[in-house]
Every structure is written in C-alpha cells, then in structure tokens.
Amino acid sequence: MDVSHGSPHKARNTGVGAEIRAARTAMGLSTRELAKRIGTSQPFVSNIENGRIFPSLRTLELLAVALETESDTLLPANERAERAERIGGAVGMRVRRGGEIASRRLLGAPDRGLQAYRVELRPGESEPRPFAHDGEDFVFVLDGELSVLREGMPAARLARGDAIWLDGSIPHRLSADGGASSPGIALITVAANGGDAHSA
C-alpha cells in the first residue's frame, strides 16, 4: 500500500523521491516511461518523486527493477549509511534454498538478531526442508497464496495481505499451492539469537 503522509514524514518522503528521480534521470527516462515500466500512471510516479506519496515495499521493488538497481539504493543517503553501519554487506544478498528456489535477505546478517527475507515460490514449489531456530518469525504475504507447514500442526493457508507469527523452534517451511496462477511472495522477519536462520 502506497501511503500519503503528513509533515512529520515529509523529509523522508522527499528524500526517497529525490533518489528515485536521480536514478530515473541518470537512465534518461521520463516519468511517463518509468510509470509504464512499473505498470502505473505518470502522476503517481510524480507524486512519489515530489514526496507526496511514500512507496510501498512492492512499489519500491518494482522501481528498483525498472531502474536496474537495488531497492536499498533508492533510500536517502543518510538512511543507507545508517543501515550499512548496522548490517554490513548483507543488503540484497541472495540466499539459495535448493534447486531454483531462492530467498533474498533484505536486511540482517548472520551475527545479527533481526533479519528480513523476501521469499518467492512458484506454483507447486515448496522449500526443500523445514527450518527451526531460536526466536520468532513473522510472515507477511506480499502476493499470491502460500501455506505455512509446521511440524505436528495443521497447515496455515495465507493469501495476499495475510500474516502469521511463528515460534521459530517448531520446524516450519513455506509451500505454494500447485493450482495457483501466480507465484507466492512473502516477507519473513526473523528474530533469532544469531546464525542465519533462513538460509540453506
């Protein structure tokens, strides 16, 4: 969901908009061309660049793909510096999970207590093995449908916009329904006591 914020967030919104504008102009794209690439309208892109709208995670990802960059680089420079100090080189690191299935670690590192992953499973795919770790997981479905499979518990079916909290010590994995028409995409936030909780 793309949100319009009042004055307390104006500086942040303007900073993000400025980074997007700089990346767009560096590629020689007009706002209309960028809008077409991400499947939206030119006024919507202009509102983001002018700080009137703060893009959702999904929109930020689409913009990053269209601008051939990482979503983290579209954040204001001061926020990038702060994040880099906290998480080192882990931003955007790709984590293989077996076969063609992969997750992307957005934030966090093996020696940090909080990590965030973006996981995408095509219809009929499942994570190759359960994961178990100290701490907690928060799963939010960005798109499609996914099932959370937990040892000794019924499967929890989640659709776009659904969320679930998990006890990380119970073996768990994600699965995408074979009858689905599109991939299931989830954001997983992991609060763990060190270690890389959700990598193979």
pLDDT in tens for each of the 200 residues of the chain?
444 444 445 556 678 888 899 999 999 999 999 999 999 999 999 999 998 888 887 888 889 889 988 777 787 655 544 443 344 344 444 443 444 445 666 655 445 567 788 888 889 888 878 888 788 889 999 999 999 999 889 999 999 999 999 888 899 999 998 777 788 888 888 775 544 455 44
Q: Identify the pLDDT of residue 149.
A: 94
Q: Identify the pLDDT of residue 131.
A: 84
Q: Do domains 7-85 and 88-191 have the same CATH topology?
A: no
pTM of the model: 0.49
Q: Identify the pLDDT of residue 107.
A: 56
**CA torsion through residues 68, 72, 75, 80, sign:** negative
Quickly count: other Cβ atoms within 10 Å of residue 126's Cβ: 17
Q: What is the CATH number of domain 7-85?
A: 1.10.260.40
Contact 34, 66 (CB under 8 A): yes
Q: Identify the pLDDT of residue 183.
A: 87
- The rounded distance, in Å, linking the Cα atoms of 182 and 184 is 7
Domain boundaries, the chain: 7-85, 88-191
Q: Identify the pLDDT of residue 115.
A: 76
Element (H, E) at 137: strand 136-143
Q: Which fold has domain 88-191?
A: Jelly Rolls (2.60.120)
- The rounded distance, in Å, linking the Cα atoms of 86 and 108 is 8
